[in-house]
Amino acid sequence: MKDTEILDLYWERDERAISETQRSYGNYCYSIAFHILHAKEDSEECVNDTWLKAWKAIPPNRPNHLSLFLGAITRNLSFDRWKHKNALKRGNGEMEAALEELEECVPAARSTEDVVEELELKRCLNHFLETLKESDRNVFLRRYWYAEEYSEIAKRYDMKLNTVKTTLFRIRGKLKEYLEEEGVVL
């Protein structure tokens, strides 16, 4: 079923919307959740919560890209669950590795400067992404939006593993520099 047809079901408050969404995007959302949580049960719960949230959000929303809309919900739910479960506890998994790498981008603390609001940070990140080449941007998002493993990214884009690592290393350096220039304090 096409996205527009699924969206019509949501707007008609037809419960088949959920089963059709599950059919079309179940694997996609599960993949996003699992990359963050690395736990089958938690991932499945997040995916189910995604359908519920989507049901509540559509209408009034009518997303242009249903997959991205659902993916973003899943990512947020999974990330919230990850934070709740881990509460800074160290463990295995790509989330820890991805976060450790992102630590490199955090500018040095600067006394009592104002904390940048989340919207401003998002604006900065979008602006930074705009400056990247598309291929670099995709690799960055695959790692830090989808929390994919290096090897998955290498396979996806037909790159050498080391090239993926080097590319991300370079981008993290640029991001740190950019955030410092923008005066972002995290």
Binding mask 74-113 for another protein (x = CB under 8 A): -xx--x---x----x---------xxxxxx-xx--x----
DSSP assignment of 37-93 equals H--HHHHHHHHHHHHHHHHHHTTT---S-HHHHHHHHHHHHHHHHHHHHHTT---SS
What DSSP character marks residue 5? Answer: H
Q: Does 141 bind another protein (CB under 8 A)?
A: yes
* Residue 72 and residue 79 in contact, taking contact as beta carbons nearer than 8 Å: no
Q: Which of 20, 43, 142, 149 binds another protein (CB under 8 A)?
A: 142
**Is residue 60 reached through a cis peptide bond, with omega within 30 degrees of 0 on the bond before it?**
yes
Cβ closer to another protein: 62 or 156? 156
* Residue 16 and residue 43 in contact, taking contact as beta carbons nearer than 8 Å: no
Q: Does 53 bind another protein (CB under 8 A)?
A: no
Cβ closer to another protein: 28 or 55? 28
Distances (CA, A) of 167 to 133, 137, 150: 11, 10, 11
Q: Which of 22, 145, 180, 182 binds another protein (CB under 8 A)?
A: 145
Positions in the binding site for another protein (CB under 8 A)? 64-65, 67-68, 71-72, 75-76, 79, 83, 88, 98-103, 105-106, 109, 118-119, 121-122, 125-126, 129, 133-135, 137-138, 141-142, 144-145, 156-158, 160, 162-163, 165-167, 169-170, 173, 186
